[in-house]
Amino acid sequence: MKAKYKRILLKLSGEAFQGKYSHGIDSSVCAHLARQIKEIVEFGVETALVVGAGNIFRGMPKSSEFAMQRTVADYMGMLATVLNGLALQNALENQGIPTRVMTAIEMERVAEPYIRRRAVRHLEKKRVVIFVAGTGNPYFTTDTAAALRGVEIGVDVLLKGTKVDGAYSSDPLKDDKAQMFKNLKYMEVINKQLKIMDSTAITLCMENKLPIIIFNFLKPENLKKVVCGEDLGTLIA
């Protein structure tokens, strides 16, 4: 097998880290993620990641008894991504993969500040780079952070790992009649209001002609297959 892409950005949701738990970080899942990432790194693929934080903190609490400003909630979510990024870094380095965590919110004792040129240099040296703290700004999702970082560092494709096989007309875990799409145009995703990525992320990819592949990251070897060009998941281009 030969890699199709030289440089990729993989977006993982926070739920990818919780495994069998209702919340938090499952170390066995981190190890599983690290093994999959190691496979593509050994193919010579320059690999960057953006991680979410839904396993630790998900947006604004709905209860009026615990009212919270949107900006406060977003900053809490950004900080939670740092926990996931450090856990994944540890798992990757246990596999012998050199890794750097780069944060949009400076915390020099924990991670490197995000500097585009430095991130690119790490990738060129075959280090895995994990981007945390989103864009560093409230009101932007980690999907938008993934699109932004992908464009900035010049990746060939944005991969979004999910719990299902691709993009569907509705949630396939709740709707038996949900239909999967093999190919979509950027504007179709926006017009159909598909809950794949937010419209800001899709628009950013569209304006910069960055293709997106939605695929099931939980199935063994799927990441390797996608990177090698196998027809899996949904292509948005």
The number of distinct structural domains making up the chain is 1
Mean pLDDT to the nearest integer, 217-229: 92
Report yes or no on 156 lying in a domain: yes
Q: Which of 151, 218, 18, 118 is nearest to 143 (CA)?
A: 151
Q: Which domain holds residue 211?
A: 7-236
Report yes or no on 183 lying in a domain: yes
Q: In what order do the strands lie in the sheet with 46-51?
A: 112-113, 99-103, 128-132, 46-51, 7-12, 157-162, 212-216, 234-236, 183-184
Percentage of the chain modeled with pLDDT above 90: 75
Percentage of the chain modeled with pLDDT above 70: 96
Report yes or no on 1 lying in a domain: no
pLDDT digits (tens, 9 = 90+) for 173-213: 888 888 999 999 999 999 999 988 999 999 999 999 999 99
Output the CA angle 203-114-41, nearest 5 degrees: 80
Residue 141: which pLDDT band, with cuts at 50, 70 and 90?
very high
Dihedral sign computed on CA atoms, order 155, 53, 100, 109? positive
pLDDT digits (tens, 9 = 90+) for 143-182: 999 999 999 999 999 999 988 899 998 888 888 888 999 9
Report yes or no on 67 lying in a domain: yes
Mean pLDDT to the nearest integer, 78-100: 96
pLDDT digits (tens, 9 = 90+) for 39-63: 999 999 999 999 999 888 866 555 5
Whether 66 shows a pLDDT value over 80: the answer reads no
Whether 19 shows a pLDDT value over 90: the answer reads no
Report yes or no on 93 lying in a domain: yes
Whether 64 shows a pLDDT value over 60: the answer reads no
Across the chain, mean pLDDT equals 92
Whether 89 shows a pLDDT value over 90: the answer reads yes
Q: Which long-range contacts (CB under 8 A, 24 or more apart) does 144-148 make?
A: 144/198, 144/200, 144/201, 144/204, 145/50, 145/104, 146/9, 146/11, 146/50, 146/201, 147/197, 147/200, 147/201, 147/202, 147/204, 147/205, 147/210, 148/204
Report yes or no on 2 lying in a domain: no
CATH number at residue 20: 3.40.1160.10
pLDDT, residue 220, reads 83
Report yes or no on 200 lying in a domain: yes
Report yes or no on 34 lying in a domain: yes
